[in-house]
Amino acid sequence: MSNTLLHPNGALASGPEYEVRVRYVARPPAPWTWTIHIEGHPEPAYVSPDRHRSAEEAWEAGRTALMRLVQR
The pLDDT tens digits for 44-71 are: 999 999 999 999 999 999 999 999 988 8
What confidence score (pLDDT) does residue 15 get?
Answer: 64
Q: What is the pLDDT of residues 13-52, one digit of tens each?
A: 456 788 999 999 999 999 999 999 998 898 999 999 999 9
Q: How much is the pLDDT for 4?
A: 41
Supply the range of the domain harboring residue 33. Answer: 4-70
Helix (H, G, I), strand (E, B) or coil at 60: helix
CA angle (70 as vertex; 69, 72 as ends), nearest 5: 70
Residue type, 55: A
In the chain, how many domains are there? 1
Strands 4-6 and 18-24: antiparallel
How would you list the strands of the sheet with 32-38, edge to edge?
A: 4-6, 18-24, 32-38, 46-47
